[in-house]
Amino acid sequence: MPPHPVTSPTLPCAAVTPDCACPFRLDHELALITGGGSGIGLAMARCFAGAGARVVLAGRREDRLREAAAGIGSRAGYVAHDVTRLPEAPALVEKVKRQFGPITILVNNAGIHLKKPAVDTTEEEFLHVLTTHVLGAHALSRAVAPAMMQRGGGSLLFIASMASLFGIPQVVAYSAAKSAYVGMVRALATELSPHGIRVNALAPGWIETDMSRRAFENDPGRRRKILSRTPMGRLGTPAEVGFAAVFLCAPAAAFITGVVLPVDGGASIGF
């Protein structure tokens, strides 16, 4: 992955300071993004590359990862990995280090969704959602943290959800998992920030993705309800989540840790 320019969203340099010519750049960073082959994960990868970082996409489907990395260009690589295989997290981190270099940014984005009434959600289904989101993110965070501590810096970013901020029906397991993210972020921030590692989360609102489009096709009333309670009156774009991710991992956010930043068009404060 030679550091050549690629066609991807480019962030403007909005400020110049004596010790950081462009605080919104991610030059010299290497970001591992789980669930990076599609949707919000892929959009974040494109934005990170546009800000100067090299990115490594992780996911279960190698064909999709290969295509996604090729679309980003020379700043992108990929590794096949299933986050639910918890004992394999250290091996993944070591593999990325050998092939691409040390990980300086970890984006815990991989996850699954389960829409089902709480009374019909089985223990096995609940546990699978928790394992994918919570235990998978913890395993990778634990695997990358020691090297970041040794270097004296790094960034962990968790992709939470509106479901971690207020109640949404028929997603009890997903809500529990994303709410656990918020607790993990705060706890990890208190432990790791003294070592120069910042830990933050994004809470995307309703974003225009293939998944959301399929959901709205069968439930037009839901789209109307969502837009009616979103002050900006529209769905977000994956790139808008990506730009917020770049900010939280960039020098511009150097004094920000332990926060959960909604990217939701105001849905979390709307009525």
> At 179, which helix (H) or strand (E)?
helix 172-192
Residue 194 is which amino acid?
A: P
What is the biggest distance separating any 2 CA atoms in the chain, rounded to whole angstroms?
Answer: 58
| 3-state SS, one letter per residue, for 249-260 | HCHHHCCCCCCE
107 token code pair: 């984006």
Task: Reply yes or no on whether 78 is catalytic.
Answer: no
As a whole number of angstroms, the distance between CA 137 and CA 141 comes to 6
The residues facing 236 across adjacent strands are 207
Rg (CA), the chain: 18
48 token code pair: 């990170």
As a whole number of angstroms, the distance between CA 128 and CA 61 comes to 18
Catalytic residue, from 174, 181, 243, 247: name it.
174
Instruction: Provide the annotated active-site residues.
Output: 174
